[in-house]
């Protein structure tokens, strides 16, 4: 009997001193495990006469329970302490300001796309997108470029392998495809801009097989060429962050617009640097025009009721222009040193109110 009491005191004292979970587990095994001190005592019950067993057995059971419970309590307390320590150590003060100098950079093309969409969003345009892989109809036919049209050759199209029915998908050669997708899937009026990737089998110092465009489309019952000029004038001033940008519209031809024009802006070439806004030179930056009635018909719109304008602009070139980036191909080299030099800090999101570029 005294042994039992002594063992209980000893074990409880040891449990009280244990300071980590591993040590507690060793202690549990040495007391309650198969060969543990408590288990050995219980095994002794077998050699006792029945009368003795009757008085000893309940005491041993009590010992076992008391020790077991004490271990569980100690375990819970150690767990809680470990969690508290972890929480204290991993504490984050979310009220601290973010470190300004982060290592990642926004690619100039992403930046310029954000700047452009921000400007047009400010004029009430929505952003629309479409897939890189397109069908012939959306890329050509619906845009009034029928199968034997010479404009198809000009586009140096990447085709996917022919399907069983003889049709071929292609990598869109321009973002004009999304004019068709929008007019076919939604009801007018439309006022959208479409930034995205485009592809042509073309590669030299000023061309890459993948490049970027932004398309604009306005369809309603009254919009005319004057509105087109106004929208683009507003865009140029906002984008180049200048009070005045002189522009001119030269008559041109695109199958999907009638009349069509190309827009140039005034600039000065100084070595390989270009100063935008004024000077003696002109720089062509986009194609535009009134949407051809045939395109409207292809999209199920009545051209006697609806009309509007569209434009398409290369993003890469105007990004080079705005940010003085000399080589187009460097855009797609994934050279981190280049990105660190020409890239933008992620938190400097372009906004009309806060400034487009910083």
**Count, residues near ligand DAH per rule CB under 6 A:** 11
For the chain, counts of helices (H) and of strands (E): 12, 10
Q: Choose, by CB under 6 A, the member of 191, 312, 317, 322 that binds ligand DAH.
A: 312
Which residues, including other chains, have CB under 8 Å from residue 272's CB and lie 6 or more apart? 326
Complete DSSP assignment for 7-51: HHHHHHHHHHH--SHHHHHHHHHHHHSTTSHHHHHHHGGGGS-HH
Is 311 a residue that touches ligand DAH (CB under 6 A)? yes
The residue among 240 and 311 lying less far from ligand DAH, judged by its C-beta, is: 311
CA dihedral 78, 80, 82, 88 (to 10 degrees): -150
Of 38-46, 63-71, 80-88, 304-312: span binding ligand DAH (CB under 6 A): 304-312
Q: Where are the beta strands (DSSP E) in the chain?
A: 126-127, 133-135, 169-171, 190-199, 210-220, 247-254, 257-270, 273-276, 281-291, 307-314
The residue among 105 and 174 lying less far from ligand DAH, judged by its C-beta, is: 174
The residue among 108 and 287 lying less far from ligand DAH, judged by its C-beta, is: 287
87: Cα separation from own chain's centroid: 32
Of 66-74, 180-188, 276-284, 307-315: span binding ligand DAH (CB under 6 A): 307-315
Is 120 a residue that touches ligand DAH (CB under 6 A)? no
Is 316 a residue that touches ligand DAH (CB under 6 A)? no
Give me 280's structure tokens. 């003696």
> How far is the C-alpha of 168 from the C-alpha of 152, rounded, in Å?
14
Binding mask 169-198 for ligand DAH (x = CB under 6 A): -----x-x----------------------
Is 36 a residue that touches ligand DAH (CB under 6 A)? no
Is 254 a residue that touches ligand DAH (CB under 6 A)? yes
For residue 287, give the nearest of 316, 250, 317 by alpha carbon.
250
Is 157 a residue that touches ligand DAH (CB under 6 A)? no
Is 289 a residue that touches ligand DAH (CB under 6 A)? yes
Is 288 a residue that touches ligand DAH (CB under 6 A)? yes
The residue among 215 and 316 lying less far from ligand DAH, judged by its C-beta, is: 215
How near is the Cβ of 199 to ligand DAH at its closest, in Å? Answer: 11
Is 130 a residue that touches ligand DAH (CB under 6 A)? no
Terminal Cα-to-Cα distance of the chain (whole angstroms): 85
Cα dihedral 62, 64, 66, 72 sign:
negative
How near is the Cβ of 205 to ligand DAH at its closest, in Å? Answer: 19
How near is the Cβ of 249 to ligand DAH at its closest, in Å? Answer: 12
Give yes or no for a contact between 274 and 192, defined as CB atoms under 8 angstroms apart. Answer: no
Binding mask 213-252 for ligand DAH (x = CB under 6 A): --x-------------------------------------
The residue among 290 and 325 lying less far from ligand DAH, judged by its C-beta, is: 290
The residue among 15 and 143 lying less far from ligand DAH, judged by its C-beta, is: 143
> How far is the C-alpha of 5 from the C-alpha of 154, rounded, in Å?
99
The residue among 245 and 286 lying less far from ligand DAH, judged by its C-beta, is: 286
CA dihedral 250, 247, 127, 188 (to 10 degrees): -60
Q: Choose, by CB under 6 A, the member of 188, 195, 255, 287 that binds ligand DAH.
A: 287
The residue among 289 and 350 lying less far from ligand DAH, judged by its C-beta, is: 289
> How far is the C-alpha of 237 from the C-alpha of 110, rounded, in Å?
20
Determine if residue 258 is labeled as part of a ligand binding site. Answer: yes
> How far is the C-alpha of 108 from the C-alpha of 344, rounded, in Å?
7
**Residue whose CB is nearest to ligand DAH in the complex, by number:** 312
Q: What is the contact surface with ligand DAH in residues (CB under 6 A)?
A: 174, 176, 215, 254, 257, 287-289, 310-312
The annotated binding site for Mg(2+) is made up of 258
């Amino acid at each position: 009997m005294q042994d039992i009491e002594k063992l209980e005191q000893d074990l409880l004292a040891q449990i009280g001193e244990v300071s980590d979970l591993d040590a507690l587990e060793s202690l549990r095994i040495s007391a309650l495990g198969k060969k543990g001190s408590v288990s050995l005592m219980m095994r002794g019950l077998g050699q006792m006469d029945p009368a003795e067993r009757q008085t000893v057995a309940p005491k041993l059971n009590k010992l076992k329970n008391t020790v077991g419970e004490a271990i569980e309590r100690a375990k819970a307390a150690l767990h809680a302490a470990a969690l508290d320590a972890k929480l204290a150590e991993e504490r984050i003060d979310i009220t601290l300001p973010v470190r300004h100098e982060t290592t990642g950079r926004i690619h100039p093309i992403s930046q310029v796309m954000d700047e452009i969409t921000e400007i047009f969003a400010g004029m009430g345009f929505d952003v629309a997108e479409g897939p890189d892989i397109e069908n012939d109809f959306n890329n050509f036919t619906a845009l009034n470029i029928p199968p034997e049209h010479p404009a198809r050759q000009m586009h140096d199209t990447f085709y996917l392998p022919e399907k069983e029915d003889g049709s071929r998908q292609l990598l869109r050669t321009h973002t004009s495809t999304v004019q068709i997708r929008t007019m076919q899937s939604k009801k007018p009026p439309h006022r959208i801009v479409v930034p995205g990737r485009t592809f042509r089998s073309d590669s030299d110092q000023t061309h890459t097989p993948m490049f970027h465009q932004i398309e604009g489309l306005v369809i309603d019952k009254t919009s005319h060429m004057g509105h087109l000029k106004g929208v683009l004038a507003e865009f140029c001033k906002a984008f180049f962050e200048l009070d005045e940008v002189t522009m001119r519209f030269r008559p041109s031809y695109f199958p999907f617009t009638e009349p069509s024009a190309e827009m140039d802006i005034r600039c000065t070439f100084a070595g390989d640097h270009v100063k935008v806004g004024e000077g003696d030179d002109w720089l062509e930056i986009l194609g535009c025009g009134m949407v051809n009635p045939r395109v409207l018909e292809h999209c199920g719109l009545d051209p006697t009721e609806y009309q509007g304008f569209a434009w398409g602009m290369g993003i890469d070139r105007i990004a080079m222009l705005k940010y003085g980036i000399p080589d187009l191909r460097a855009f797609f080299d994934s050279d981190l040193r280049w990105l660190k030099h020409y890239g933008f800090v992620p938190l400097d999101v372009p906004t009309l109110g806060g400034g487009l570029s910083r």
